[in-house]
């Protein structure tokens, strides 16, 4: 399974928080040859089950992306919008967008904001409509827009929107394809609505009731000029083994086992500490009576911007490490 081709296929899907169906359908098709069972729950989480006799192991990555939702159509035909997830308004002016029905436009901001704090309420989307009636013929209040940009390679990196977290969905699929005979009962879970509060992970983990969980997500790369050192990882440094972020302190047994597997398998790795931000692990580790939870990430630059960047070598290392954990002999919890 080629990681870049898989990422391109997933990024071509429309999948903002709450509307992940296209992404789930693409993943279902890619996972089917390696799965014993595939199901979708009420929330929309895609659960890929590979049966085994041992402990239940949940491996998760989220399918949803950031977006904008139409809240009001101006008489001029311009669209006022609200945010889906952790939008940074200052990064969005000039960003091309598309709607699920194929309508396209671009994001701009109100004039005269030099001395004001940028808020999502200062943004609007221009779809080329001359008035409100023409705009309503294309979109409706409640329609969502996503960033409309290609996924490209440059040097060792991949550039594009929504590497958070489509690159880790691709990583999880590659890990699934690498698993042979595992002693564990494996659940590869592709979650919904992470960007708006870890919602899908909460319900999926409750249903699966795993003994162990490892969450695959991007992590802030601390390798840019003027960085605030809010993270510990660098692009090109290998898979990121999470120790903690603002949502979870990972279980020390899982951290230690992931590190040992990386060393034994000669898999490039680095230790991941983030002082801000979180992942689905924040919801999973508190499920029921608690879950032994860890994380394997891909360092990413410009997270939550319309153009993110990550190294494919780090993604390959993350896939190898997740596959190794999935096949490891794990003690009963």
* Tens of pLDDT, residues 64-92: 999 999 999 999 999 999 999 999 999 99
Catalytic residue flag (residue 194): yes
At residue 231, the pLDDT reads: 86
Element containing residue 104 per DSSP (H, E)? strand 104-109
227 CB neighbour count, 10 Å cutoff: 11
pTM above 0.85, yes or no: yes
Q: Assess if CATH 3.40.630.10 describes domain 3-65+161-326.
A: yes
Q: What is the pLDDT of residue 115?
A: 60
Strand partners, 184: none
| 115-124, 165-174, 188-197, 244-253: segment of lowest average pLDDT | 115-124
Cα dihedral value 27, 32, 38, 41, nearest 10 = 20
Exposure b/e, 241-272, CB count within 10 A at least 16 = b: bbbbbebbebbeebbebbbebbeeeebbbbeb
Please list the residue range(s) of the chain that carry CATH number 3.40.630.10.
3-65+161-326
Kindly tell me if the per-residue pLDDT of 296 is higher than 90.
yes
> If you average pLDDT over residues 246-253, what whole number do you get?
96
CATH 2.40.30.40 residue ranges in the chain?
67-147
Tell me: the pLDDT tens digits for 145-202? Answer: 999 999 999 999 999 999 999 999 999 999 999 999 899 999 999 999 999 999 999 9
Distance CA 62, CA 165 (A): 6
- Residue from 262, 47, 332, 297 nearest 176 by CA: 47
d(CA 73, CA 81): 9
192 and 44 Cβ atoms separated by less than 8 Å: yes
> Which residue among 194, 195, 308, 316 is the active-site one?
194
Q: Which CATH architecture has domain 67-147?
A: Beta Barrel (2.40)
Which of 37-51, 99-113, 254-268, 313-327 has the least mean pLDDT? 99-113
């Amino acid at each position: 399974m080629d990681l870049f081709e898989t990422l391109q296929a997933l990024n071509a899907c429309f999948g903002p928080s709450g509307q992940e169906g296209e992404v789930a359908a693409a993943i279902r098709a890619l996972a089917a040859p390696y799965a014993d069972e595939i199901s979708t729950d009420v929330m929309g989480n895609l659960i890929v089950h590979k049966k085994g006799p041992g402990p239940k192991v949940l491996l998760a990555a989220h399918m949803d992306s950031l977006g904008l939702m139409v809240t009001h159509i101006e008489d001029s035909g311009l669209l006022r919008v609200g945010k889906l997830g952790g939008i940074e308004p200052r990064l969005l002016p000039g960003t091309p967008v598309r709607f699920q029905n194929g309508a396209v436009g671009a994001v701009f901001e109100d004039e005269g904001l030099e001395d004001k704090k940028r808020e999502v309420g200062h943004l609007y989307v221009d779809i080329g409509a001359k008035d409100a009636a023409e705009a309503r013929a294309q979109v409706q209040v409640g329609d969502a827009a996503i960033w409309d940009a290609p996924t490209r390679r440059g040097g060792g990196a991949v550039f594009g929107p929504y590497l958070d977290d489509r690159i880790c969905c691709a990583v999880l699929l590659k890990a699934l394809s690498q698993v042979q005979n595992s002693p564990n009962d494996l659940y590869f879970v592709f979650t919904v609505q992470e960007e708006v509060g870890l919602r899908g992970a909460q319900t999926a983990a409750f249903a699966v009731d795993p003994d162990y969980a490892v969450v695959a997500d991007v992590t802030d790369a601390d390798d840019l000029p003027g960085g605030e050192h809010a993270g510990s990882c660098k692009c090109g440094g290998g898979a990121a083994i999470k120790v903690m972020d603002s949502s979870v302190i990972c279980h020390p047994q899982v951290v230690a086992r992931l590190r040992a597997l990386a060393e034994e398998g000669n898999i490039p790795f680095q230790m991941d500490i983030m002082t801000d931000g979180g992942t689905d692990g924040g919801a999973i580790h508190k499920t029921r009576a608690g879950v032994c939870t860890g994380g394997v990430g891909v360092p990413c630059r410009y997270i939550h911007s319309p153009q993110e960047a990550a190294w494919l070598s780090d993604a390959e290392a993350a896939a190898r490490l997740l596959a190794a954990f999935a096949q490891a002999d794990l003690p009963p919890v």
